[in-house]
Amino acid sequence: MRVKRNPSISNISPRYLFPEIQQQTHTFLQRHPQADLIDLGIGDTTLPLPSFVAQKMSEKAASLATTAGYQGYGPPQGSPELQKKIAEQLYHGCVDPEEIFISDGAKCDIGRLHYLFGPDTAIAVQDPAYPVYGETYLLSGKSLPIDLMPCLPENDFFPTLPPAADIIYFCSPNNPTGIAATKKQLEELIAFARDHDILIIFDAAYSCFIQDPQLPQSIYEIEEARHVAIEVGSFSKIAGFTGLRLGWTVVPKELRFHDGTPVAQDWKRIVSTCFNGASLLSQSGGIAVLEDHAFLEIQQLTDYYLKNGMLLKKAFCALGFETYGGENAPYVWVKLPEKTSWQGFHAFLEKTRIVSVPGSGFGPAGEGFLRFSSFANRSAVEKAVERLKSFSL
């Protein structure tokens, strides 16, 4: 056909990280068809949905099959009831419901946010980071070099902030390192953004895993953040909605572009232009998750995964590995002595049948690390811990 390919596609790696891992695992299984693999790789949730959430969604589905209960398109910005619940339960009133835009997931909004920004917008991302920030930037046709901000044990995983970037992406707790930024670090980030007149896109997809009350769960816990930060959130990891799809983005009223246009005004326009709101069923599930009694029950899911993380972390420490994360996040970040990430990936696969994620897939500063996910069933984690006892690189 005469249609030309989007040239930006060739600016990103031909394969996303997780299909690459699946391919490597598949090749291994062809050589060892009997291998009993333990998947601590892709960070997908494994516990079933709480039954009251499923119940609420099935009630909603049944009402859609009645004349009185049928609903078509909802408001593009999402259900006002859900906006209100998020504002109350997750932001304790420091964000207004109308500043919350309900989405079909954080990843989708991270992609759509690029519509907001001009072609010469320069971005900086943590290194290592969730690859979606940089890849969607490139896919959107913007092509300035991406500033990588190394986050390593040597700098307490808090980078030197680059003055040249217009937007800094910051994820806390971070995927893949599992490190949650301290209040002081986030104050530094916000002060930097204020001083340099730049925007922060704060990814709080894992905020519900933060246990230490001293660590902020939202960027809006930091004074002045409303003037410089957009926050992206998700029900995926809070409540096992990875398949259902539900998230949100907070765009505070104070945020303005260089020419004075309110950012929320443009975001509203974009959301109603290329998205028509999240599924009514997912939103009814989201409302159920945030009911007072339910929210406590939901925290049991988080606790379960965190216990997995502690078991894994202990096992790696007993083997003498330097390990990070796993306490306020569902990922354990393991340093490999004198091995590349892919060498480590294959060593663990061959010797323990455990699937991990090579740190180098998240950026050059991830080289020499592996990420192990806590999103597994306890029996699988216990089996992994047993196998690790006799492991050596």
Alpha-carbon distance of 199 to 150, in angstroms, equals 19
Alpha-carbon distance of 271 to 248, in angstroms, equals 12
Given the rule CB under 6 A, which of 48-56, 71-79, 103-111, 162-170 is the region that contacts ligand PLP? 103-111
Min dist CB 103 to ligand PLP, Å, is 8
Residue 128 preceded by cis peptide, ω within 30: yes
Task: For residue 326, state whether it binds ligand PLP (rule: CB under 6 A).
Answer: no
# residues contacting ligand PLP (CB under 6 A): 13
Given the rule CB under 6 A, which of 102-110, 298-306, 313-321, 380-388 is the region that contacts ligand PLP? 102-110
Min dist CB 108 to ligand PLP, Å, is 6
Alpha-carbon distance of 187 to 113, in angstroms, equals 24
> Can you list the alpha helix ranges (DSSP code H) found in the chain?
17-31, 51-64, 80-85, 106-112, 132-139, 183-196, 236-239, 263-274, 280-289, 292-318, 341-352, 378-388
Q: Measured from the CB atom, is 315 or 325 closer to ligand PLP?
A: 325
58: its two tokens? 């099935």
Q: Measured from the CB atom, is 136 or 242 closer to ligand PLP?
A: 242
Q: Measured from the CB atom, is 315 or 333 closer to ligand PLP?
A: 333
Chain residue whose CB lies nearest ligand PLP: 105
CA angle 238, 240, 244 (to 5 degrees): 115
Q: Tell which one of 39, 99, 135, 203 touches ligand PLP (CB under 6 A).
A: 203
Which is it for strands 100-103 and 247-250: parallel, antiparallel or unpaired? antiparallel
Q: Tell which one of 105, 216, 309, 325 touches ligand PLP (CB under 6 A).
A: 105
Q: Measured from the CB atom, is 60 or 245 closer to ligand PLP?
A: 245
Q: Tell which one of 77, 136, 218, 234 touches ligand PLP (CB under 6 A).
A: 234
Task: For residue 373, state whether it binds ligand PLP (rule: CB under 6 A).
Answer: no
Min dist CB 223 to ligand PLP, Å, is 25
Task: For residue 157, state whether it binds ligand PLP (rule: CB under 6 A).
Answer: no
CB-CB contact of 32 with 364 (8 Å): no
Q: Tell which one of 49, 86, 95, 106 touches ligand PLP (CB under 6 A).
A: 106
Residues 263-302 touching ligand PLP, rule: CB under 6 A, are none
Given the rule CB under 6 A, which of 19-27, 105-113, 160-168, 249-257 is the region that contacts ligand PLP? 105-113
Q: Tell which one of 90, 124, 200, 205 touches ligand PLP (CB under 6 A).
A: 205
- List C-alpha distances in Å: 8 to 120, 131, 186: 15, 16, 33
Sign, Cα dihedral of 368, 17, 8, 136: negative
Min dist CB 353 to ligand PLP, Å, is 24
Task: For residue 45, state whether it binds ligand PLP (rule: CB under 6 A).
Answer: no
Q: Measured from the CB atom, is 169 or 220 closer to ligand PLP?
A: 169
Alpha-carbon distance of 23 to 194, in angstroms, equals 44
Cα distance from N-terminal residue to C-terminal residue, the chain: 51
Task: For residue 371, state whether it binds ligand PLP (rule: CB under 6 A).
Answer: no
Burial class (CB in 10 A: 0-12, 13-18, 19+), 194: middle
Task: For residue 240, state whether it binds ligand PLP (rule: CB under 6 A).
Answer: no
Contacts of 45 (CB under 8 A, 6+ apart): 236, 237, 240, 242, 301, 305, 375
Min dist CB 70 to ligand PLP, Å, is 28
Binding site for ligand PLP (CB under 6 A): 43, 105-107, 130, 171, 175, 203, 205, 234, 236, 242, 247
